[in-house]
Structure 1
Amino acid sequence: MPDYWNHNTAYHPWILRAVAERPVRDALDVGCGDGLFLTRLAPLVDTATGLEPDPGTYERARVRLADVDNVTVRPCSFEDWGAGAGSIDLVTMVASLHHMDLTGALEKTRELLRPGGQLLVVGLAANRSATDWLFSGLQLPWVRLFSALHRESPDIGVPVAEAEKSLAEIRAEAERVLPGVRVRRGLYYRYLLRWVKPG
């Protein structure tokens, strides 16, 4: 299966740089899509699990990762996936958090992570304020330029959903559930969230 570039894969290097800063035994990629990110994450971790609830997308991920020995893909949602508290070193979510209940997903991640483990999110937020619209408008020329240069593949045939919460709402809830979290705006109408569990 070929690689491709879009507004989500543009941030794979950001995640991989953060992952490389500390040893990772067990990683979890929530909403792993067709598995492209997991192929890039696999060399940096001992084991990785991808969760993908959409049957067709799960099958694509399974095929892509069939020969990657340290990666397993499960056909289930994050909500339905069971694992012991403090059993994961890394949780990643690339354009998947807005598909889930924000509070529930953040709270479950907080419980799953071992002390020193980290959560890395490339997320989508809704434009609700004048500031949100201003940032989106200012990005437009750069987004069009880089999308053309990289020959963007905007539709890769996976389920999509519109974001409902604004960045301000996401930041406020993340700060409540994950003290010390860092949330910032990114290019391509994305935000970046990073949290390291104390301990």
Structure 2
Amino acid sequence: MTTPPPHLLRALDRFNAAHPWDHNAHYHPWILRQLPRRFGRALDVGSGSGDLARLLATRAGAVHGVDSDPKITAQAQELTPPAALVTFTTADALTGLPADSYDVITCTATIHHLPFTEALTVFRRHLAPGGTLVILGLSRPTTPGDHLLGAAAAPLNAATGWLKNKGRPAPRPVSMTAVTRPADMSFPDIVREAHAVLPGARLRRRLFWRYTLVWRHR
């Protein structure tokens, strides 16, 4: 696949830096569509500033967010109205989860920071029978399909950033939940390992360098 000229890539990077937007929040409505209209307890792993946890609270009886960064956890608590049934804890996503079961578990742009198979095993253990696990993840592009989606996403990313910022440079950077790092697993490897732990899981490549995983605990 032909790589765009370096000067074009640099120009695109400059444009995207001036018009940033939250790729993960873009998928929040899609995540909600995978869930029941009402459910009991929800767990959001890698909850960041709490945007998704607060959305889950519009349907859940109670929501608990877990993040390893104490500063972002404190920010999430400050942004959450006292009346909302949402709590946040600073904890390790694998060893620090509450000893409870949940009707819904979500994990957004976090699992590539964790041992993948171990994380899925922990999530499965905490998911109640009949519950739903939804993951929005990042993978390392390796296949022609990956590179094709990446090429399609580049101009759409710029256009979306321009539209969301109404054509003006963003006044401040988009808030980040943590220091990001590239994903090291390819999508085929993710699919293979996911199916070994979560038989019947549905995985799809998505635009904007993401993939989704949905699994229902029968």
- Calculate the TM-score normalised by the size of structure 2: 0.82
TM superposition shift of 1:134: 2.2
- For residues 142-179 of structure 1, the C-alpha deviation after alignment (integer angstroms, 9 at most, x for no partner) is 22211221128864143212111011111111111000
TM superposition shift of 1:24: 1.4
**Equivalent residue number for residue 100 of structure 1:** 114
Structure 2 residue identity aligned to 1:49 = H
TM superposition shift of 1:188: 1.1
State how far apart, in whole Å, the 1-side matches of 2:21 and 2:80 are.
18
RMSD of aligned alpha carbons: 1.9
Task: Give the gaps of 5 or more residues in structure 2.
Answer: 1-19
**Equivalent residue number for residue 128 of structure 2:** 114
State how far apart, in whole Å, the 2-side matches of 1:100 and 1:176 are.
17
CA contact (8 A) 2:21 2:174 kept: no
State which of 105, 112, 124 in structure 2 corresponds to 1:91: 105
CA contact (8 A) 1:25 1:45 kept: yes
State which of 128, 147, 153 in structure 1 corresponds to 2:142: 128
State how far apart, in whole Å, the 1-side matches of 2:112 and 2:206 are.
16
CA contact (8 A) 2:121 2:197 kept: yes
CA contact (8 A) 1:31 1:77 kept: no
Alpha-carbon distance change, 148 to 56 in structure 1, aligned in 2, over 3 angstroms: same
TM superposition shift of 1:66: 4.7
**Equivalent residue number for residue 189 of structure 1:** 209
**Equivalent residue number for residue 177 of structure 1:** 197
TM superposition shift of 1:5: 4.7
Structure 2 residue identity aligned to 1:112 = H
State which of 60, 63, 84 in structure 2 corresponds to 1:45: 60
Structure 2 residue identity aligned to 1:7 = H
CA contact (8 A) 1:93 1:121 kept: yes
Task: Give the gaps of 5 or more residues in structure 1.
Answer: none
- For residues 24-77 of structure 1, the C-alpha deviation after alignment (integer angstroms, 9 at most, x for no partner) is 111000000011111211111000000011121111111112524311100112
Name the % identity: 34
State how far apart, in whole Å, the 2-side matches of 1:95 and 1:56 are.
18
CA contact (8 A) 1:124 1:189 kept: yes
CA contact (8 A) 2:43 2:105 kept: yes
Alpha-carbon distance change, 124 to 154 in structure 1, aligned in 2, over 3 angstroms: farther
SS of the residue aligned with 2:27? helix
Structure 2 residue identity aligned to 1:80 = T
CA contact (8 A) 2:149 2:207 kept: no
SS of the residue aligned with 2:68? coil
State how far apart, in whole Å, the 2-side matches of 1:123 and 1:54 are.
19
Task: Point out 4+ residue stretches in structure 1 off by more than 3 angstroms.
Answer: 82-85, 152-155
SS of the residue aligned with 1:32? coil
Structure 2 residue identity aligned to 1:107 = T
Structure 2 residue identity aligned to 1:176 = A
State which of 15, 18, 30 in structure 1 corresponds to 2:45: 30
State which of 113, 126, 139 in structure 1 corresponds to 2:153: 139
**Equivalent residue number for residue 89 of structure 2:** 74
CA contact (8 A) 1:39 1:68 kept: no
Alpha-carbon distance change, 154 to 171 in structure 1, aligned in 2, over 3 angstroms: farther
Alpha-carbon distance change, 154 to 196 in structure 1, aligned in 2, over 3 angstroms: farther
CA contact (8 A) 2:41 2:61 kept: yes
1:156 aligns with 2:171: no
SS of the residue aligned with 1:43? coil
